[in-house]
């Protein structure tokens, strides 16, 4: 199970290798993604809070990376954080999320990226509910819901 200590350790010391890698040029990503999704996933932009209906969707299913289709989160780990972005307590599998120390905008945070294609997903914080105590605050534009 993920916890804040594991997140910080990986952000500072490296992440496990993924099962596969998807690597594309910026031109290939631009051809695949609309402009907003490209800016969020490939340029680490953040969508406006409360701009997606995905925050209020809690039906069973799996949330995949919008860029490469990697299954990232199960709906059972989703919760209402009132932050304006879809929030989860843990990733679906041990190695699908990579963590990076993020010191941008005068803050100290931990960025989450897809470990398969390096798509920016959002950030993780140590203020989530049990059992992990984590809040994966994820841009809806970085996700596709399957099932």
Asked if 137 is an active-site residue, the reply is: yes
Q: Report the predicted TM-score, pTM, of the whole model to 2 decimal places.
A: 0.95
Of 65, 67, 114, 137, the active-site residue reads 137
Between residues 24 and 104, which one has the greater pLDDT?
A: 24
DSSP state of 92: S
88-143 tens-digit pLDDT: 999 999 899 999 998 776 778 899 999 999 999 999 999 999 999 999 999 999 99
What's residue 31's pLDDT?
98
Q: Say how many residues make up the chain.
A: 147
Cα 144 from Cα 62, distance rounded (Å): 8
Euclidean distance between CA atoms 118 and 127, whole angstroms: 24
Q: Which CATH number fits domain 4-146: 2.170.150.20, 1.10.10.10, 3.30.70.20, 2.60.40.420?
A: 2.170.150.20
pLDDT digits (tens, 9 = 90+) for 34-85: 999 999 999 999 999 999 999 999 999 999 999 999 999 999 999 999 999 9
Name the E strands within the chain: 62-65, 71-74, 78-79, 87-88, 97-102, 109-114, 120-125, 135-138, 143-146
């Amino acid at each position: 199970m993920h916890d804040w200590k594991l997140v910080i350790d990986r952000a500072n010391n490296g992440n496990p290798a993924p099962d596969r890698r998807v690597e594309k040029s910026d031109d290939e990503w631009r051809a695949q993604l609309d402009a907003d999704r490209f800016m969020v996933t490939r340029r680490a932009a953040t969508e406006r809070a409360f701009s997606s209906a995905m925050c209020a969707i809690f039906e069973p299913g799996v949330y995949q990376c919008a860029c490469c289709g990697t299954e990232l989160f199960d709906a059972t780990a989703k919760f209402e954080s009132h932050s304006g972005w879809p929030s989860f307590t843990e990733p679906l599998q041990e190695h699908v999320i990579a963590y990076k120390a993020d010191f941008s905008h005068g803050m100290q945070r931990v960025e989450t990226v897809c470990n398969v294609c390096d798509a920016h997903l959002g950030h993780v914080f140590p203020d989530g509910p049990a059992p992990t105590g984590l809040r994966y605050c994820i841009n809806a534009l970085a996700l596709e819901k399957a099932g």
